[in-house]
């Protein structure tokens, strides 16, 4: 009989914890798994060292919700490559495309 009471108490405690809302437990939405600086560094490093981007000047800006690409690329292929790199490393952030094709002479 004692084991039944102990089991009932344990089940009641588990049920109470499971029913708590995120607000009552102090839960807050998690920050992105990868920091903004790490995301920026990874994208920027890939874009600046890729032979595919030889005619590009791209500025990468990252916040908790978005990765912004601003600057100039030499072709549609460079444009598409930059967006693919950003999307692959964005960690779920939205991609903001402010790239311009052509118009930059190095």
Tokens of 21: 């809302």
Position 87 in a domain: yes
Average pLDDT, stretch 8-21? Answer: 48
- Whose CA is closest to 100, among 71, 76, 80? 71
Helix (H) or strand (E) run with residue 101 in it: strand 94-101
Position 3 in a domain: no
Q: What is the mean pLDDT of the chain?
A: 79
Position 17 in a domain: no
Q: How many domains does the chain have?
A: 1
Residues pairing with 100 in the sheet: 72
The three-point CA angle 37-70-52 to 5° equals: 90
CATH of the domain at 53: 3.30.1340.30
Position 11 in a domain: no
Taking the whole predicted model, whether its pTM rises above 0.75 is answered as no
Position 30 in a domain: no
Position 44 in a domain: yes
Which domain range does residue 75 map to? Answer: 36-101
**pLDDT tens per residue across span 38-75:** 999 999 999 999 998 988 999 999 999 999 999 999 99
Position 53 in a domain: yes
Position 12 in a domain: no
């Amino acid at each position: 009989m004692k084991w039944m009471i102990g089991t009932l108490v344990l089940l009641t405690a588990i049920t109470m914890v499971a029913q708590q809302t995120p607000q009552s437990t102090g839960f807050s939405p998690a920050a992105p798994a990868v920091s903004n600086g790490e995301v920026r560094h990874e994208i920027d490093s890939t874009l600046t060292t890729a032979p595919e981007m030889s005619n590009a000047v791209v500025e990468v800006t990252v916040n908790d919700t978005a990765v912004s690409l601003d600057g100039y690329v030499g072709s549609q292929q460079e444009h598409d490559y930059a967006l693919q790199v950003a999307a692959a490393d964005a960690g779920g952030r939205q991609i903001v495309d402010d790239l311009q094709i052509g118009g930059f002479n190095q």
